[in-house]
Structure 1
């Protein structure tokens, strides 16, 4: 695949490092290999999830909860999202991602830092307790962001594994992370909901294409490097299928860092706004990126503050 934006050639090594258990973007062929890490690191009885729920997460790579966030809380967070979206100055910040071809805000990163309201959401006891149990340790925020998918022209997010990027470009060693998607508007089958290939987290897809310098500046708008090819995606869909965990405002989906996921564009009048919190184990902090390039900015991938949530 190619991109219309010229980028400086990568200086990444021709071969993966000796400590790289999940090499990607080095070879000429996409490889699908077995996962090397546990899916659940915690145990039943050490958190709110039952043994059955933990087994479902192991099997499918996600858990969905309706009404986990109260209507009053949802309204508070939604008001904050609308405030951020209306602030023209925010659109010029490094943390902002603008829709290609418009001035519409697509994503805003590090919202747990910039917004006291969304910082409270990052420390929400229900979310933190689930993340701790899944990862078997205290957790910190590796990344937070707001994703706006406006009506009629909200763009898609192509199929990808978050871990592939977080490993290659951020230096996260192991699959010991979990994303949490909090719906602040209804996620319907029609307005570009999150789609997941359940069970695909048991496979690691090693992608083709050396990582360009400052890749994040392009990939946050349209990712072309670090995504599987059509043949690999077809193979995964044939093996695992596709599901879309939809729900009303206040529903929450936890999904495993390596599960293949994406979303369609939104051509309906119904906007979709979600907040994402990425929890990482305090025992899985980043090392030097495995692509051999400088790390991405801290607002995308935390490298300094590993304070466990609930203790700041």
Structure 2
């Protein structure tokens, strides 16, 4: 898959791009079933809210076939390689769950701030490309983005280890207010199968979810191979040390896996 010249221009100007319904209902149904099974597991890669509800599951591509296939899917790898002009490797992989009624806030932050401070990433030549597993609506804790804030560079941040179960390098209110006054706030929404990609320095966060509607999103953090991390401090399942370029699977690989799983799913 290739981005159009207009999409590339939009991304560089705004810092983000949304591609609606890039994956089929059958492909998404498989991923949803597999994510639910992963969240039931008790393993170091699965982190939970203070309430016990799942918050994020790291490195699912290393122990689950469906998410492994998604992690090498050309619809995700191609656009990022196109923007970076080189091959990419998987820096981080996670399935974030904004659980119904109990999903907690993600504070305002830049992803590159964490990748630089905690992992020793030299430059913001990595980005998140995400796949919606549930419908993301204005009411169930969508990601909030500050357009054009990626042009502000790497901002000063504080390490918040208390607000939620997930430590994060967060921005202060004055900084966020200034950037919002310049660029506003957008909340990309869409049906399952939509894909959101955004620059590593784009300021973003999300509110809690007090609705009955869960909001699960898969995040692939793809890093340019030349930009591999130098001084990682986090576990390998959070900041990967395998810097080999991703070899994309066939475009129909996930669809074929979904079709093959149908009889088993029906029997269960």
Query: Same fold by TM (over 0.5)?
Result: yes
**1:195-274 → structure 2 map (5 Å cutoff):** 195-209=144-158, 221-223=165-167, 226-274=169-217
Superposed displacement of residue 152, structure 1: 1.0
1:308 corresponds to:
245
1:155 corresponds to:
104
* Greater percentage in helix: 2
1:166 corresponds to:
115
Mind listing any 5+ residue stretches in structure 1 that lack a counterpart? 1-46, 290-294
Superposed displacement of residue 158, structure 1: 0.7
2:47 corresponds to:
97
RMSD, aligned CA: 1.9
Considering only CA atoms, is the larger Rg found in Structure 1 or Structure 2? 1
Superposed displacement of residue 288, structure 1: 2.3
2:10 corresponds to:
56
1:109 corresponds to:
58
Matched, 1:177 2:126: yes
Mind listing any 5+ residue stretches in structure 2 that lack a counterpart? 250-268
Tell me the TM-score normalized by structure 2: 0.88
Task: Kindly tell me the number of residue pairs found equivalent between the two proteins.
Answer: 249
Superposed displacement of residue 271, structure 1: 0.7
Q: Which secondary structure does the structure 2 equivalent of 1:146 belong to?
A: strand
Q: Determine the C-alpha separation between the residues in 2 that align with 1:208 and 1:245.
A: 25
- Could you list the structure 1 runs, at least 4 aligned residues long, displaced by more than 6 angstroms after superposition: none
Alignment check: 8 A CA contact 2:90 2:220 kept: yes
Tell me the TM-score normalized by structure 1: 0.76
**CA deviation string 1:107-154 (max 9, x = no partner):** 011111121110000011111111110111111110000111111111
Q: Which secondary structure does the structure 2 equivalent of 1:76 belong to?
A: helix
Q: Which secondary structure does the structure 2 equivalent of 1:283 belong to?
A: helix
1:5 corresponds to:
none
Q: Determine the C-alpha separation between the residues in 1 that align with 2:154 and 2:229.
A: 20
**CA deviation string 1:203-259 (max 9, x = no partner):** 1243255x69xx7xx687244x62111111100110111001100000010111110
